[in-house]
Amino acid sequence: MARTQTKESRLAVRLTSDQRARVDQAAAAEGRTVTEFAIAALSERAGHVLADRRVFPLDDEQWDRFTEMLDQPVTRRPRLAELLARDPGWAE
């Protein structure tokens, strides 16, 4: 049986009446409460924003190794090039 997490934090927002009507309409269209809709939308957007902004801390030795790898000549990988050239299907 799945355990539910206790929600300990609140987030209050102010909306115009047009924004609120749009959110209400979208939540209803998905069969969700406004809270469920807002949490899903906020979480999804946060994931997109943070996807390219991850921090990877490296100590001096790791940084040196990383920069050495970047300085290496590029190795041609035909199968990888072929894969990357394909239409991913989801990018429409």
Q: How far is CA 84 from the centre of its chain?
A: 21
What domain count does the chain have?
A: 1
Asked if residue 30 belongs to a domain, the reply is yes
Tens-digit pLDDT string for the chain (92 aa): 567 788 899 999 999 999 999 999 999 999 999 999 999 999 999 998 888 777 778 899 999 999 999 999 988 999 999 999 998 888 66
Name the residue among 44, 51, 46, 11 with its Cα closest to residue 26.
Answer: 44
Asked if residue 48 belongs to a domain, the reply is yes
Alpha-carbon torsion angle 88, 76, 78, 86, nearest 10: 10
In the structure encoding, which two tokens stand for residue 66, read together?
């990383």
Domain that holds residue 78: 17-85
In the structure encoding, which two tokens stand for residue 58, read together?
């490296």
In the structure encoding, which two tokens stand for residue 26, read together?
């979208």
pTM of this prediction?
Answer: 0.55
